[in-house]
Amino acid sequence: MEKIHVGIVGGGTVGGGVWQALQRNGPLMAARLGVALEVTGVAVRDPGRARAVDIPRDRITGDWLTVVEDSRNRIIVELMGGTSTAREVVRRALSLGKPVVTANKALISAHGPELFALAAKNGTNLYYEAAVAGGIPIIKAIRESFAGNRLLRIAGIVNGTCNYILTRMKLEGADFADVLADAQRLGYAEAEPSLDIDGHDAAHKTGILASLAHGFWVKPEEIHTEGIRHVSKLDIQFAAQLGYTIRLLGIVQPVAAPKSRSKRAGSAAIQVTVYPALVPNSHVLASVNHAFNAVAIRGDVVGDTLFYGRGAGQDPTASSVLSDLADAVLDLRAGNHHRVPPFVAHDGSAKVAPIDGIVSRFYVRLEVADRPGVFARIASILAQARIGISSIIQPEGHAGETVPVILMLDEATNEATRKAMARIARLPVVKAPPVVLRVENLD
């Protein structure tokens, strides 16, 4: 049987998982592909460190360049993370004409166009299924399975850490800080958690999906990104009372022209956002709990589809890396490195829509002085901004000088709502910054 040698750069959680999975299922892959895979070397930062996965010492090196430049290795797998050294690794491999498999969403998000162009220039390919949603085959679905669809909406839970925290806050009535500390202890959140809880990880992934879906590369700085630090157990409780669950969503969808407000596909402005939102309990995304991911996609031909599974971790991510390895092997055998290009630009006129023009419904929680006439002043500001109020909750039994007031607002632009909230926040009777969350019915 033909044998193809592979070099791996990165021997941590995912790298170790790929090594382990190849030892377990390498013969199965060989039987299915007609080609055997053999890892010649694994480059790591500290060769002397003890590892959870037993990789033979004669396969481990501290020099990634020797792995990449080894003439035996026809495929390079980059699993080290980060965007500096990892970029050097990928660039060097592609410049040698070697296909690269990566799980590095930050690298693809920040430098995708450069790396895709380098791959094309050198007649090779870059595979990155594992960069988004762990073991869920979402890249392949958008790039290949939905090639005949205009994608009308992508709504995804793509960060397991945030979903884990929000799930436990709902199920246990716990505070954000307490659940975050527990998530860090259990390994669901990093010691420095800002990449996850401030929405940046989800933004990297959402930008990649948006780029594939709409044919122009979305830069990370163009994505409106909010995290979940400001979501409290009160918001979770009031959302449940109103029939909603709060989830951190990455949303990609065409924005209708302001005049027509029609929802036709092909609009030049695309919403690409990450923020916590109220999702109706009747929608399937509301029932995605703990560290699981899910991506709901609506196509104009296929209709509604859902992709669900583990979005991170050693084995799910390793599964996607093996899938890309299989594609790379088949492409090498066929002598066609461009069977499915990593990214095809096909809409030069499209652009990311500014957040101020996005129309949403809103949930607002205010802490106000407990005295007559407060609501009239708030309602007056909203009326002047032409923002309607669909419902109000002012719960009883709150002792003290302030009480919470929850407003559900009718559709309005982000700009109008933002300006109205700034005016409301300046009222002497409002005792804390307003908490504002969007409502996504996903109908």
Task: Return the active site residues.
Answer: 205
Between CA 350 and CA 269 the distance in angstroms is 6
Residue pair 43/64 in contact by the 8 Å Cβ criterion = yes
At how many degrees (to 10) do helices 233-241 and 160-172 cross?
70
Residue 169: other Cβ atoms inside 10 A? 23
- Residue 439 · residue 244 · CB < 8 Å: yes
Q: What is the dihedral of CA 347, 350, 351, 354, to 10 degrees?
A: -150
Structural contact between residues 274 and 155, judged by C-beta atoms closer than 8 angstroms: no
DSSP string, 362-395: EEEEEEEESSTTHHHHHHHHHHHTT--EEEEE--
Lookup: tokens for 22: 């190849």
d(CA 260, CA 255): 11
Please state whether 81 falls in left (phi above 0), alpha (psi between -120 and 50) or beta: left
